[in-house]
Amino acid sequence: METCIKGSKEWLNSMEYRELNFAREKLVINPAKACQPLGALLCALGIEGCLPFVHGSQGCAAYFRSTLSRHFREPVAAVSDSMTEDSAVFGGQSNLIEGLRNAYAVYKPKVISVFTSCMAEVIGDDIKAYLGNAKEQDAIPQDLAVALSNTPSFKGSHITGYDSTLKSLIECLAKPRQEDTINDRLYVVPGFDTYPSNLREYKRLLKAMDAPFTLLPDNSDVLDAPNLGTYELYPPATSIAEMNEALNAKSYLLLQAYSTPTTSKYLTGKGVTVETIPMPIGLSGTDNFIQAIAKFTGQEVPQEITIERGRAVDAMTDCHQYIHGKRFALFGDPDILLGLVSFLLEMGGEPVHIVCTNSTVPFKKAMEKLLAESPYGQGATLYPGKDLWHLRSLLVTEPVDMLIGDGHGKYAARDANIPLIRVGIPIYDRVNLHRYPIVGYSGVINLVTMIVNTFLDELDRTSTDAYFELMR
Amino acid sequence: MFTNLTKLDLKDKKCMSDAGSPKLCMKALPGEGAERSCAYDGARVVLMPITDVAHLVHGPIACAGNSWDNRGARSSGSQLYRRGLTTDIMENDVIYGGEAKLKEAILEIAARHNPKAIFVYATCVSSLIGDDVDKICREAEAGLTIPVIAVNCPGFLGDKNIGNRIAGEVLFDRVIGTGVGSDEKIPLSINLIGEYNIAGDLWGVLPDLKNLGITLQTAITGDAKFDDLRSAHRASLNVLICSKSLTNLVRKMEIRYGIPFMEGSFYGIHDTSETLVNIAKALGDPDLVERTLVYVQKKEEETRKTIAEYKKLLENKQAILFTGGVKTWSMVSTLAELGINILAGGTQNSTPEDFQRMKELMDPSAQIIEDTSSAGFLKIIAEKKPDLIVAGGKTKYLAHKTRTPFLDINHGRKLPYAGYQGMVTFAESLTRTVLSPVWGLLKQEFPPKEGELDG
């Protein structure tokens, strides 16, 4: 066999390199995870009047704002207290106090969500004590709510940062739970979700089912804001009043198990009833969600929901032949992967490579169980903790028909000459995908549409005259 | 007109504490909403367009995760520079140190990715935990045949400008002049300093240089090859395009290699011509000067003819300009060439000199943007009600929410605006932006007021 040059494209495409690549331990190439404070920011944006505040070096906040702004094509508000070299020596207290003073004076928030980036954590800043001092020095009003979460980038990923910050916001704003103040509401926690349309879909379904609910947090009007001629720094989101009553909820429904474990534990510890279900992607996922709401309201599923379901099933039926037997590779966060895999299995699609950088042991078990239960899941392998460069090796040595994941997957998809269906974050290179839900019955229709039409576009683009035709 | 102030002149003659003047290398105000990036980002920006080397970030996921391939710096050859390489520092590394991990990562890259060199970026975390990136790079390099170059640019050092300067120093200390070939000067050759080939800007200028018989040794750095950079000292002239903080680099190159430098800009007809003529003069070839004078006149005529249609459509529009670097002032004259008036101008990431030039070129009635935070920006839009905003991507969606036409002229753009051809592209983009029918739709009241329906 001809040996090719190390580092050349041919060699990088070889099985020999794939083995070397999978032995790689100390180097990450083309990462498929973001950092804790990015998740913290996404969460904090979902509370009304909340100003996200990064306690750390100045570049971090600029990166997070830019990432979210490019993905959603919206302005994203956040401030930073811009720690510098002398903060490393003397601690970040003066930055935090000065930052809080300036941010409050300029942006007049109802609540400030302070979360840390690496620097503050490495030098061991005691942000709780600093906050006390800030109030003592009248930098901010005594009664201003300030939530604190520790979210260094060297721990966890964006989904754990989301979790810690959500917990901190509830902890900071919620009144204590008392038996005589429990309300009748279902608090629904979407988890790290970058689809404002998903949140709207949840709200629509909850309304249709007549459930008294609060979506917590709800950044849909912040990250998909209407153009009304003026910029609103604080568009409507989960209200402070609803936050105050967060521990008095009748129960909680968590829609992403792996981006809310800390919050879940905290709520349970406070005596709140918590139910966690898989993210409602696909038919059975959505059925599950609808049934959980029906269980909460104690009412039958309304006819209009049944009809809506029927339309989704109809779309799946009409398109089954395009997905059944097709091979897929996927990468992304645990909850979204479970949902997408579940949907593909329903359609007879065959997941082959599943890469999850921020995998956990419980997730691995859940994914393996899901795959084991379906005849279409038998050929699938989950690669926990791997990156997009590992994924590239998989795609070029064991080809599939389609890759599903965020925009960063485009390099691997290009090298493997297969289409990429964009799901997740970041997506900088397509428009409006965050405006199309991937959850609920509408989500089923949208996923079927995206996947099938992409296959058909490929067919039209690549077929010879003999096979080019009007009908597909 | 083109003002010729050098940094030293400025220090002596100009007041540096003007309102709105960029606070060069000063600390950002804690709690302000400004979009300042950090020293690490600044260093990345300057070095990333070296395309055939590996860029390894020794830091937690945020630093590389948010910056790999995040700028439209194009390459005509190797795509290696786009690979997102990081040691992904985790908690255990923070406790036990990340030096061993870093060394292994370097060796892995050298063995399998075929780079011409490896640049290793320090970050806040690696610096705070005391990892000696210099030492590790030296140790790794000892067993390799390629340079392993440490870039000490933790974000906490301050603004992007500081990172730019650090990157320049790294190039001077470790790259330029290290080539194995001849050290002889190449006649009529230049380096373009601070040209990053964003959206292919460099490629818009190359044909003009070629037509005039000027050789581009390398852009520092844009579509840059490592070996060309090593021989950058063979150029006869340094042309500082984005004046920012690479001034240090050209000064040092002047002292060590005797390469004179000049400043210039390839944005707009006037500045492009003036820069080309100044290059010709600085290269000291009378023939070239003559050729260039004829050439630029011809190009100017052609370009003005092509953009005349656009100019008609844009004449007397009122703009707010907010950008950085050379564009701070070069865009003032570029917009003026299209008949656009500037209502207010401001800058964040540029030098006080750039700022001063902008001020001198603008109409005295134009306002200087002093508050560069989002809040300040919104206030000035509300006050001035401009027909368009020309700025960087970070303010794009704020502008859209206020229903103001917006053109991105920083690294988020996808079209090249440099050189004569770039001027045509710029005029076309600007016209498409300002005259898009969406702005009319946005201004329609809905539901319509009584009587409006009948017109």
Residues from chain B contacting residue A27 (CB–CB below 8 Å): 56, 85-87, 104-105, 108-109
Sequence-distant (≥ 6) Cβ neighbours of residue B20 within 8 angstroms = B346, B347, B355, B368, B369, B370, B372
Locate tokens 């038996």: which residue? A179
Interface test with A, best of B61, B125, B398 (most A CBs within 10 A): B61
Q: Which SS3 state, helix, strand or coil, does residue A387 take?
A: coil
Residue type at position B127: S
Tracing tokens 């390629």 back to the chain, one arrives at B146
pLDDT band for position B331 (50/70/90)?
A: confident
Nearest CA in chain A to B381: A230
To the nearest whole number, what is the mean pLDDT of chain B?
A: 88
Residue-range domains of chain B with CATH: 34-175 (3.40.50.1980), 189-299 (3.40.50.12380), 305-442 (3.40.50.1980)
* pLDDT > 70? residue B19: no
pLDDT over 60 (residue B15):
no
Q: Is A122 labeled as catalytic in the residue annotation? A: yes
Residue B9 in this model has a pLDDT that exceeds 50: no
The whole-angstrom separation of Cα B1 and Cα B360 is 9
Average pLDDT over residues B440-449: 85
Question: Is residue B96 scored above 90 in pLDDT?
Answer: yes
CATH 3.90.1150.10 fits A303-466, yes or no: no
- For B177-195, the pLDDT digits (tens) are 998 888 999 999 999 999 9
Q: What is the pLDDT of residue B6?
A: 34
Q: What percent of chain B has pLDDT over 70?
A: 91
**What's chain B's Rg over C-alpha atoms?**
23
Average pLDDT over residues A318-334: 97
Å from B135 to nearest chain A CA?
18
Please give the residue that has the higher pLDDT: either B104 or B379.
B104
| Cβ-Cβ contacts under 8 Å for A138 (sequence gap 6 or more) | none
* Cβ <8 Å between A82 and B111: no
Q: Which CATH architecture is the domain A36-173 placed in?
A: 3-Layer(aba) Sandwich (3.40)
**What pLDDT, on the 0 to 100 scale, is given for residue A81?**
92
SS3 B2: coil
Q: Taking CB atoms and an 8 Å limit, are A79 and B32 in contact across chains? A: yes
Domains A36-173 and A179-297 share a fold: yes
Which residue is listed with tokens 């609920």? A440
Inform me whether the pLDDT recorded for B25 exceeds 50: no
For chain A, the domains span: 36-173, 179-297, 303-466
H helices present in A299-421, as ranges = 303-323, 334-346, 361-372, 388-397, 410-416
Report which DSSP code applies to A299: S
CA distance B199 to chain A (A): 15
The token pair that represents B351 in the structure block: 């030098």
The mean per-residue pLDDT over the stretch B134-158 comes to 96
A99:B30 CB<8 A: yes
pLDDT above 70: residue B13: no
Q: Which residue has the higher pLDDT, A72 or A86?
A: A72
Cis-peptide, bond into residue A426, ω within 30° of zero: yes
Q: What is the pLDDT of residues B226-255, one digit of tens each?
A: 999 999 999 999 999 876 678 999 999 999
Instruction: Give the pLDDT band of residue B16 (cuts 50, 70, 90).
Output: very low
A115 neighbors A103 (Cβ within 8 angstroms): no
Q: Band the pLDDT of B35: cuts 50, 70, 90.
A: low
Report chain B residues whose CB lies below 8 A from the CB of A157: 61
The answer to whether the Cβ–Cβ distance between B84 and A99 falls below 8 Å is no
Q: Please report residues of A whose CB lies closer than 8 A to that of B105.
A: 26-27
| pLDDT for B455 beyond 80 | no
**For the segment B366-387, what is each residue's pLDDT rounded down to a tens digit?**
888 877 777 788 889 999 999 9
CATH of domain A179-297: 3.40.50.1980
Whole-angstrom distance, CA of residue A224 vs CA of residue B368:
32
CA pair distance A427, A436, nearest whole angstrom: 13
- Chain B positions touching A79 (Cβ under 8 A) are 31-33
- Find the length of chain A: 472
Q: How far apart are CA B351 and CA B10, in angstroms?
A: 11
Position B453 confidence tier, pLDDT thresholds 50, 70, 90: low
- pLDDT tens track for A151-184: 999 999 999 999 999 999 999 999 999 989 999 9
Tell me the backbone φ, ψ of residue A112, rounded to 5 degrees: -115, 130
Provide the token pair at B243. Answer: 């004046």
Q: How many CB atoms lie within 10 A of CB B306?
A: 15
Are A402 and A328 a contacting pair, CB within 8 Å?
yes
Tell me the longest C-alpha to C-alpha distance in chain A: 80
Say if residue A70's pLDDT is above 50.
yes
- Among B66, B378, B400, most A C-beta atoms within 10 A, so best to mutate, is B66
Q: What six digits make up the tokens of B80?
A: 């290696």
Q: Which of A43, A118, A341, A396 is catalytic?
A: A118
Q: Is the per-residue pLDDT at B224 higher than 80?
A: yes
Rounded Cα distance between B260 and B77, Å, is 30
- Chain A environment of B89 (Cβ under 8 Å): 154
Q: What residue type is assigned to position A299 of the chain?
A: Q
Give percent of chain A with pLDDT exceeding 90: 93
Q: Which of B40, B151, B372, B55 is nearest to A57 (CA)?
A: B40
Residue B322, H or E segment: strand B318-323
Quick check: A63 and B41 CB within 8 A? yes
Contacts of A234 by beta carbon, 8 Å cutoff, 6+ apart: A48, A49, A50, A109, A110
Q: What is the least distance, in Å, from the CA of B229 to any CA of chain A?
A: 22
Amino acid at A117: S
- pLDDT for the residue B243: 60
When mean pLDDT is compared across A45-54, A293-302, B316-325, the lowest value belongs to B316-325
Q: pLDDT of A353-368, one tens digit each?
A: 999 999 999 999 999 9
* Partner residue opposite B87 with nearest CB, options A26, A56, A107: A26
Give chain A positions within 8 Å (CB) of B385: none
CB-nearest partner of A81 from B30, B56, B374: B30
Identify any residues that bridge with B224 across adjacent strands, giving them in sequence order: B50
What residues in A contact B40, CB-CB < 8 Å? 59
Q: What is the pTM of this model?
A: 0.93
Query: Quick check: B401 and A96 CB within 8 A?
Result: no
Read off the pLDDT of residues B387-420 as tens digits, 9 standing for 90 and up.
Answer: 999 988 878 999 999 999 999 888 778 899 999 9
Q: Measured between CA atoms, how close is B390 to chain A, in angstroms? A: 16
Closest residue, chain B, to A358 (C-alpha)? B61
User: Rounded mean pLDDT of A297-306?
Assistant: 97
DSSP assignment string, A102-142? HHHHHH--SEEEEEE-HHHHHTT--HHHHHHHHHHTTSS-T
> What mean pLDDT comes out for the span B25-41?
75
Rounded to whole angstroms, the Cα distance separating B371 from B363 reads 20
Q: Are strands B237-240 and B215-220 parallel, antiparallel or unpaired?
A: unpaired
- A6-11 long-range contacts, Cβ below 8 Å, gap at least 24? A6/B111, A6/B112, A6/B114, A7/B112, A7/B113, A7/B114, A7/B115, A8/B114, A9/A415
Of B33, B87, B159, the CB nearest to A27: B87
Over chain A, what is the mean pLDDT? 95
* pLDDT for B448: 85
Q: How many CA atoms lie within 13 A of B130 on its CB side?
A: 4
* Record: contact B104-A57, CB cut-off 8 A: no
Instruction: Nearest by CB to A35, from B29, B33, B65: name it.
Output: B65
What radius of gyration do chain A's Cα atoms show? 23
Contacts of A29 (CB under 8 A, 6+ apart): A387, A388, A389, B83, B84, B85
CB-based contact B394 A66, cutoff 8 Å: yes
Residues A346, A342: Cα–Cα separation, whole Å:
6
Cβ separation of B37 and A95 shorter than 8 Å?
Answer: no
Predicted local distance difference test score (pLDDT) of residue B18 = 56
Of B2-16, B128-142, B364-378, the poorest mean pLDDT is in: B2-16
Would you state the torsion angle of the CA atoms of residues B1, B6, B11, B16, taken in this order, to the nearest 10 degrees? 40
The pLDDT of residue A316: 98
Taking only the tens place, the pLDDT of each residue in A423-453 is 999 999 999 999 999 999 999 999 999 999 9
Quick one: which of A4, A25, A7, A21 has its CA closest to A397?
A21
**pLDDT of amino acid A229:** 87
Q: What are phi and psi of B322, to 5 degrees?
A: -145, 105
Separation between Cα atoms, residue A412 and residue A393, nearest integer Å? 9
Q: Which has the minimum average pLDDT: B9-13, B311-315, B431-435?
A: B9-13
Judge: B66–A75 Cβ closer than 8 Å, yes or no. Answer: no
Among B62, B115, B403, beta carbon nearest to A227: B403
Band of the pLDDT at B14, cuts 50, 70, 90? very low
DSSP string, A149-196: E---TTSS-HHHHHHHHHHHHHHHHPPPP-GGG--SPEEEE--S---H
